[in-house]
């Protein structure tokens, strides 16, 4: 009897000690930093050398190379055990060619697909943070493959690393309060078609979408920053939610210390980049957005936009900034307020 009592007391002591240790760890560990550290230049490089390879034939909307790209994305999520929000094994939001050609700027397009993956929030699962990038590029022209390593292989692979970091948090019981939708859209090069289709046929109600963090070209350096490459352009952060802008600024100061360049956020910017990537289809529905962008460069929309020219450590640092912003938005107590007017 004494032996049983001793064993019980010992188990109780070990259990209490473990509980106290876990409680102490919760108070002292910066989990955002812990999981952001899993986003590495090496992983991004491995992914991008495949995704922007000649095998993918420039990922033109509806073409065989684009089908290889969506399979690569799906296989990643399946291997990571990150679920689909559509169905058990269905990661594709199918877009019929009739809709595409009705909305495309030019040329006849074939059926295409968005790719969606999902991590369910622990406390506010019906509130959705959308992280997006376009998976397509412009294909093959005059026998030359336009690999689109920066545009937008960089954004597409950044999402994979962010998704994996969130999944590691989930495995450790530290998953986000709100849900995260990882959205790879097709047809951006043909007129923001994939994001337009998603926002017209959302998997989750747009009223439940907290914000959209959109990544379109974050692997290179433009001519304006040759002397200091530690930068990224942010567009749209303050246009609908001053809180989103503040969160973004605070996360950068706390973790990444990147020079946030708002040059293209100017309403009078002649490039009108705010209207030229997939975040805009969310902004039109009064959903706060941030567009992450490195600016154009000498290989923009040329067959020379190849993975050997990507600055992978910079890509990783920018990706961590996006992760930290998503982490904070997903875990803050109150949902972001839309307080800065609306987009008509």
Confidence band, pLDDT 50/70/90 cuts, at residue 106: confident
Q: How far apart are CA 190 and CA 104, in angstroms?
A: 6
| Structure-block tokens of residue 197 | 């289709």
Residue 45 parent element (H or E): helix 41-51
| Structure-block tokens of residue 173 | 């019981």
The position carrying tokens 């490089």 is 45
169-223 pLDDT tens trace: 999 999 999 999 999 999 999 999 999 999 999 999 999 999 999 999 999 999 9
Pair 60, 140: CB distance under 8 Å:
yes
Its sign, for the CA torsion 75, 88, 330, 336, is: positive
186-201 pLDDT tens trace: 999 999 999 999 999 9
pTM above threshold 0.85: yes
Burial of residue 341 (CB within 10 Å: 0-12, 13-18, 19+) is: exposed
**pLDDT for res 16:** 53
- What mean pLDDT do residues 231-251 have? 98
Q: How far apart are CA 18 and CA 15, in angstroms?
A: 5
Residue 22 parent element (H or E): helix 2-28
In the DSSP assignment, the letter for residue 57 is G
Q: How far apart are CA 178 and CA 291, in angstroms?
A: 21
| Structure-block tokens of residue 48 | 């991008």
36-68 pLDDT tens trace: 999 999 999 999 999 999 999 999 999 999 999
**pLDDT for res 3:** 52
Pair 186, 68: CB distance under 8 Å:
no
Number of H helices, E strands in the chain: 10, 10
Residues contacting 4, CB < 8 A, separation 6+:
none
Confidence band, pLDDT 50/70/90 cuts, at residue 26: confident
CB atoms within 10 A of CB 168: 15
Hey, is 305 helix, strand or coil?
coil
33 or 7, higher pLDDT: 33
**pLDDT for res 24:** 56
């Amino acid at each position: 009897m004494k032996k049983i009592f001793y064993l019980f007391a010992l188990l109780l002591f070990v259990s209490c000690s473990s509980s106290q240790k876990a409680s102490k760890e919760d108070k002292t560990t910066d989990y955002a930093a812990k999981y952001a550290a899993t986003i590495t230049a090496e992983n991004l490089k491995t992914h991008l050398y495949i995704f922007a390879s000649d095998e993918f034939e420039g990922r033109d909307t509806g073409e065989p190379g684009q089908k290889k790209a969506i399979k690569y994305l799906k296989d990643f999520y399946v291997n990571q055990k990150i679920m689909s929000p559509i169905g058990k094994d269905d990661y594709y939001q199918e877009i019929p060619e009739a809709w595409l050609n009705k909305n495309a700027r030019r040329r006849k397009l074939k059926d295409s697909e968005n790719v969606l993956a999902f991590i369910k929030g622990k406390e506010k699962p019906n509130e959705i943070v959308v992280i997006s990038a376009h998976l397509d590029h412009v294909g093959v022209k005059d026998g030359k493959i336009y690999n689109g390593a920066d545009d937008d292989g960089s954004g597409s692979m950044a999402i994979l690393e962010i998704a994996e970091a969130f999944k590691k948090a989930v495995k450790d019981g530290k998953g986000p309060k709100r849900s995260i939708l990882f959205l790879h859209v097709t047809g951006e090069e043909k007129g923001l078609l994939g994001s337009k289709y998603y926002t017209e046929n959302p998997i989750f109600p747009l009223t439940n979408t907290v914000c959209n963090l959109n990544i379109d070209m974050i692997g290179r350096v433009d001519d304006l920053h040759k002397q200091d490459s530690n930068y990224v352009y942010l567009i749209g952060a303050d246009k609908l939610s001053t809180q989103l802008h503040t969160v973004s600024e605070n996360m950068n100061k706390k973790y990444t210390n990147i020079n946030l360049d708002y040059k293209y956020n100017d309403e009078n910017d002649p490039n009108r980049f705010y209207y030229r990537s997939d975040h805009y289809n969310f902004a039109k529905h009064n959903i706060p957005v941030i567009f992450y962008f490195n600016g154009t460069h000498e290989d923009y929309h040329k067959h020379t936009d190849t993975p050997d020219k990507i600055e992978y450590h910079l890509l990783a640092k920018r990706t961590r900034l996006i992760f930290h912003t998503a982490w904070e938005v997903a875990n803050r107590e109150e949902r972001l307020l839309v307080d800065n007017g609306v987009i008509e």
